[in-house]
């Protein structure tokens, strides 16, 4: 009788151990399977933003600072994995040339270009004269497509000669996309020069930043020429749209 009472709890204990072992195996399989599904479906991907970019590839960027005599050292630009890419042998690389307004759209342009390689030659406070000096050393071997953001930091009386020099360096075979200027007091003269240049150079196409900015003055604070993050996103998309429209 005593032996029966002791053996019954022992059988129950063995059953609990068996059930616990089976449950552990099943739970482990579910965890592994769930992790595999999350990875394959992209659930574990981090949010994509200019501040938090999942790098699927990197491309070289040349970012000289004022006073340098060459395009400078290469750095890496992260590209979000969510951007669609349709690579072909005809995807021409692109040069982004200019001032702080060019720096501000670098992320958006690079992401929007897909598999096209973006090269950067821009710095805060840069004027056209510095860009002419830097371009002279590598213009012939530079990409066939140029996005230019220059004129905002220029003296209107000197801008015309520098702009003509840039177009001479570009030559007749490059597609040049140039943002016109939004800056009180100087934009009218500089934009008139750009309009005249575009009329004489069929490879030069103006991107209407002045008109767009005039419709969105809420992007700017006081007399600042630098837009908000929303403004930079639109400016970057305008550049990508211009590349696709004029330089395909």
Whether 14 shows a pLDDT value over 60: the answer reads: no
The reply to whether 83 and 197 lie within a common domain is: yes
| Residues 156-210: tens digit of each pLDDT | 999 999 999 999 999 999 999 999 999 988 899 999 999 999 999 999 999 999 9
Query: Considering the entire predicted model, what is its pTM?
Result: 0.66
Q: How many CB atoms neighbour CB 62 within 10 A?
A: 19
| Residues 98-137: tens digit of each pLDDT | 999 999 999 999 999 999 999 999 999 999 999 999 999 9
Domain-embedded: residue 200? yes
The reply to whether 11 and 107 lie within a common domain is: no
Number of domains in the chain: 2
CATH code of the domain in which 90 resides = 3.40.50.1110
Work out the average pLDDT over 17-38.
Answer: 44
Reported as a pLDDT band with limits 50, 70 and 90, residue 90 is: low
- CB neighbours of 248 closer than 8 A, spacing ≥ 6? none
Percent of the chain at pLDDT > 90 equals 61
How would you write 179-210 as a 3-class SS string?
Answer: ECCCCCCCHHHHHHHHHHHHHHCCCEEEECHH
């Amino acid at each position: 009788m005593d032996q029966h009472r002791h053996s019954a709890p022992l059988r129950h204990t063995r059953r609990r151990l068996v059930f616990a072992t089976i449950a552990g195996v099943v739970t482990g399989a579910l965890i592994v399977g769930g992790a595999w599904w999350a990875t394959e479906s992209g659930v574990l991907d981090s949010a994509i933003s200019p501040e938090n970019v999942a790098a699927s590839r990197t491309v070289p960027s040349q970012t000289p600072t004022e006073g340098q005599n060459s395009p400078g050292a290469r750095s890496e630009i992260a590209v979000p994995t969510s951007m669609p890419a349709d690579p072909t042998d005809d995807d021409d690389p692109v040069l982004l040339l200019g001032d702080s307004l060019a720096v501000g759209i670098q992320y958006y342009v690079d992401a929007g270009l897909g598999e096209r390689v973006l090269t950067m030659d821009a710095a805060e406070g840069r004027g056209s004269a510095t860009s002419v000096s830097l371009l002279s050393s590598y213009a012939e071997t530079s990409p066939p497509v140029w996005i230019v953001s220059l004129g905002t930091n220029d003296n209107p009386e000197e801008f015309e000669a520098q702009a003509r020099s840039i177009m001479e360096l570009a030559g007749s075979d490059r597609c040049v996309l140039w943002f016109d200027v939004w800056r009180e007091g100087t934009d009218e003269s500089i934009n008139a020069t750009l309009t005249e240049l575009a009329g004489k150079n069929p490879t030069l196409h103006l991107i209407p930043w002045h008109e767009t900015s005039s419709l969105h003055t809420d992007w700017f604070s006081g007399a600042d020429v630098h837009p908000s993050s929303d403004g930079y996103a639109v400016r970057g998309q305008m550049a990508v749209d211009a590349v696709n429209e004029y330089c395909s």
